[in-house]
Amino acid sequence: MTTQKHNYGTAILSAFEYLLENYPEVFVIGQGLWSPWYVGNSMTDLDKKFGIERVIDTPVSESACTGAAVGASLAGMKPIVVHPRMDFMLYAMDAVVNQAAKWSHMLGGQAHPGVTIRSIINRGGEQGAQHSQALHAWFAHVPGLRVVMPSTVADARDLLIASVLCNDPVMYIDDRWLYEQEDDLPPVIELNLTEQRPVVSLTGEDITIVASGHSSLLARKAAQQLEGENISVEVVDVRVLNPFYAEEIINSVKKTKNLLVVDSGWMSGGFSAEIIAKVVENLPVSCLRNPPMRVALPDAPAPTSRVLEKAYYTSVEDVVEAVKKIVKK
Amino acid sequence: MKNQLEELSNPERFHSPIGIKDFPTDTLIEMFELMMTIRKTEQRLALGRKDGLIGGPVHLGVGQEAIAVGISEYLRKTDRVFGAHRSHAHLLALNPDFYRLFAEVLGKKTGFSKGMGGSMHLWNQPSGFYGSVPIVAGTVSLAVGAAMAAKLQKTGDIGVAYIGDGAVEEGVVHESFNLAKIQNAPMLFVIENNLFASHMHISLRQPNNMIARFAVANEIPYELVDGNDVVAVAQASKRLINDIRAGKGPRLIELVTYRWYGHVDWRDDVDVGVKRSLDDIDNWKARDPIARLSKAMIKANIWSAEQQEALEVKLDRNIRSAWDKAMNDSYPSSDSTLKYVYAAT
């Protein structure tokens, strides 16, 4: 099988190209699409290849543009609305939470808003509180909205395609800190999003780290580092946060008997709590050797000043330390 | 408040029969029957709510029937119509199946939304009714998107959004006007200006009572029409819809009207309505769109009081039996709450 060299950004780009080439009902709408410097290398020249009718740059109107994508999906299209920063998408919450997530249910399963909302976590670089947020936990709280957080190059491509082909509204969340990862990808296989589950991305014996998106990358890097210290780490990448199926996670913890959750959102009320809850609800108390732990953001908005910012975001070292704390108890 | 609506907002004006000259008789009678059907259906709902048989809120549009009927006259089943909280008429004007509306409002599985929506969440896409929801202005951008889709699909269909005078106070409406214009979307914005948002009179909410000023701001051509004159509504919407289908971009129609009931349920709401009085209601009842058409048709000798009575007797009987039938229908099965959350499995 021929493979193609990709990084996370070009993997997303290739998903857009695949969808626009193969599905005439796909169109893309969002700010900056005719000059996509906001989104790294993930949307380069789509407007030139597929035309500005199908790759629509918009007024500064997150709310109407997201609503329009929802409405177009009700009319048989497969729109992708792009929010280069999740923070600005908060203007569009009615379209996402009240409309897209609820039309199927409240209209008796007869309306299908199969819209994909691509929302980017874009933080660091002293950008501060409104250019940084990772709000996946909010969206995972909303029934009817599928939430996808690809961590690998392959998932960046294949889960975007699966999201768009799914007949439900999907919040696809990618993270600019993942864009440099590289991988060789096989040709596209169309996945059924409803069948996607967490995957064990590294096997180990001593502890399970569960994470999604960029946190999964941190977990994988920490696992490699800990290997040198004879601590064997299993990493489970959540991939799909809503609806959330925890069976793979529970099975992993059953084996390793230790659990650390790493999450790019805030600690309190975050998705890390949901993961731990699902595990402890489904395992006998005696199964865990140590209390589970979380590594997540402090309960504060992101600071701008570089010293504060460096301390605020989770590093590989933070994950390594947390693992040691658990296994050396 | 600047009264740019001028005499259209004066409840003492426009009580006389409407002009029906040169309008096809068949269409007049058809529109009359449809308006009467909608009114009697809503009056039955008012009674059901008053009697405690309907559990949830009903937002009734009695007095405003000419708008949905006039607008729908020139729509196709493949157009994309979106409503809001007060949308019984918007749906019935496209599909006057009052039995399924009764069933829905009563929470029965035979309803338009399979008993999952009630009065405020209605769906009947096969007739062109894409959906209504009670978040004020929640569907306006969706309708623009459905119109943009029609343009991409090259179907010649249009999007329609019903918008109240209160809804234009939501920011997304202005984003939607702008987006529709810049996208040249085949979109008809229908402003139902009944001068009230819930209990608040427009003079307490806006500096000018003409909503079409926002069309001007967005370079969208508009017409301002007496919303209680079904022929005027139909004629204006025909002109606008023709322009939209010809690819000329979005259009807006503002229709001045008044609701006879209060914001929700069967009461007059003169006690909670600010600047709402029984005198005003009586005056607006004299601007009744149904009576004004009836009088015009009788005067022109194309309709008689006897015909009207026969029609009303027939409608009353059908509505009674549809209500009874819906009352006896089953509720959704207990698995429905989880079953409809996602479409894909």
Report yes or no on B322 lying in a domain. Answer: yes
**Percent of chain A clearing pLDDT 90 (strictly above):** 97
Report yes or no on B100 lying in a domain. Answer: yes
| Contact residues, chain B, for A193 at CB < 8 Å | 344
CA distance B181 to B178: 5
Backbone angles phi, psi at A279, to 5 degrees: -70, -50
Q: End-to-end alpha-carbon separation of chain B, Å? A: 54
Whether the ipTM is more than 0.85: the answer is yes
Question: Chain A neighbours among B 319-338 (CB < 8 Å)?
Answer: 332, 336
pLDDT of chain A, 329 residues: tens digit per residue: 689 999 999 999 999 999 999 999 999 999 999 998 889 899 999 999 999 999 999 999 999 999 999 999 999 999 999 999 999 999 999 999 999 999 999 999 999 999 999 999 999 999 999 999 999 999 999 999 999 999 999 999 999 999 999 999 999 999 999 999 999 999 999 999 999 999 999 999 999 999 999 999 999 999 999 999 999 999 999 999 999 999 999 999 999 999 999 999 999 999 999 999 999 999 998 999 999 999 999 999 999 999 999 999 999 999 999 999 999 86
Final residue before a domain boundary, out of A177, A193, A209 = A193
pLDDT of res. B345? 67
A207 and A169 part of one domain: no
CA distance B286 to B280: 10
A13 and A147 part of one domain: yes
Which of B125, B135, B139 lies closest to A110 in CB terms? B125
Q: Any idea what the CATH number is for the domain that residue A22 is in? A: 3.40.50.970
Final residue before a domain boundary, out of A193, A209, A228 = A193
B341 touches chain A (CB under 8 A): yes
The boundaries of the domain holding residue B182 are: 6-12+27-327
A121 and A137 part of one domain: yes
- Helix (H) or strand (E) segment spanning residue B83: strand B80-83
A161 and A268 part of one domain: no
Q: Any idea what the CATH number is for the domain that residue A223 is in? A: 3.40.50.920
Backbone angles phi, psi at A219, to 5 degrees: -65, -40
| Contact residues, chain B, for A53 at CB < 8 Å | 152
A224 and A315 part of one domain: yes
CA distance B126 to A121: 40
Which of A72, A110, A144 lies closest to B148 in CB terms? A72
Cβ separation of B146 and A103 shorter than 8 Å? no
B189 touches chain A (CB under 8 A): no
| Interval A90-117: pLDDT, tens | 999 999 999 999 999 999 999 999 999 9
pLDDT of res. A2? 86
A74 and A141 part of one domain: yes
Active site residue A214: no
Preferred mutation among B130, B341, B345 to probe A, highest tally of A CBs within 10 A: B341
DSSP string, B275-303: T--HHHHHHHHTT-HHHHHHHHHHHTTS-
CA distance B71 to B294: 19
The boundaries of the domain holding residue A242 are: 199-327
Task: Compute the half-sphere exposure of residue B8: CA atoms within 13 Å on the CB side of its CA.
Answer: 20
Report yes or no on B1 lying in a domain. Answer: no
A273 and A323 part of one domain: yes
Q: Any idea what the CATH number is for the domain that residue B100 is in? A: 3.40.50.970
Which of A53, A73, A110 lies closest to B152 in CB terms? A53
State the angle between helix axes of B25-50 and B230-245 in degrees (0 to 180), rounded to the nearest 10: 110
Final residue before a domain boundary, out of A166, A193, A220 = A193
Query: Do the Cβ atoms of A264 and A251 come closer than 8 Å?
Result: no
Report CA torsion sign: A262, A264, A268, A274. negative
Which of A61, A65, A72 lies closest to B146 in CB terms? A72
Report yes or no on B344 lying in a domain. Answer: no
Q: How many domains does chain B have?
A: 1
B217 touches chain A (CB under 8 A): no
Q: How many domains does chain A have?
A: 2
- Helix (H) or strand (E) segment spanning residue A26: strand A26-30
Report yes or no on B258 lying in a domain. Answer: yes
The catalytic residue among A6, A17, A62, A274 is A62
- Min CA distance, A12 vs chain B (Å)? 23
Query: Do the Cβ atoms of B244 and B186 come closer than 8 Å?
Result: yes
Report yes or no on B163 lying in a domain. Answer: yes
| Contact residues, chain B, for A166 at CB < 8 Å | 344
Cβ separation of A108 and B146 shorter than 8 Å? no
Radius of gyration (C-alpha) of chain A in whole angstroms: 20
How are beta strands A146-148 and A240-242 bridged, if at all? antiparallel
pLDDT of chain B, 345 residues: tens digit per residue: 999 999 999 999 999 999 999 999 999 999 999 999 999 999 999 999 999 999 999 999 999 999 999 999 999 999 999 999 999 999 999 999 999 999 999 999 999 999 999 999 999 999 999 999 999 999 999 999 999 999 999 999 999 999 999 999 999 999 999 999 999 999 999 999 999 999 999 999 999 999 999 999 999 999 999 999 999 999 999 999 999 999 999 999 999 999 999 999 999 888 877 788 999 999 999 999 999 999 999 999 999 999 999 999 999 999 999 999 999 999 999 999 999 999 966
pLDDT of res. A1? 65
A71 and A184 part of one domain: yes
A136 and A169 part of one domain: yes
A130 and A253 part of one domain: no
pLDDT of res. B273? 74
A226 and A187 part of one domain: no
- Helix (H) or strand (E) segment spanning residue B162: strand B159-164
Cβ separation of A68 and B140 shorter than 8 Å? no
A192 contacts: CB under 8 Å, gap ≥ 6: A162, A166
Report CA torsion sign: B314, B320, B326, B329. negative
CA distance A71 to A126: 37
Active site residue A180: no
CA distance B117 to A107: 6
pLDDT of res. B108? 98
C-alpha angle A312-A315-A317 in degrees, rounded to nearest 5: 125
Cβ separation of B344 and A194 shorter than 8 Å? yes
A31 and A54 part of one domain: yes
Cβ separation of A110 and B341 shorter than 8 Å? no
Tokens of A75: 């009319």
Average predicted confidence (pLDDT) for chain A: 97
Query: Do the Cβ atoms of A170 and A148 come closer than 8 Å?
Result: yes
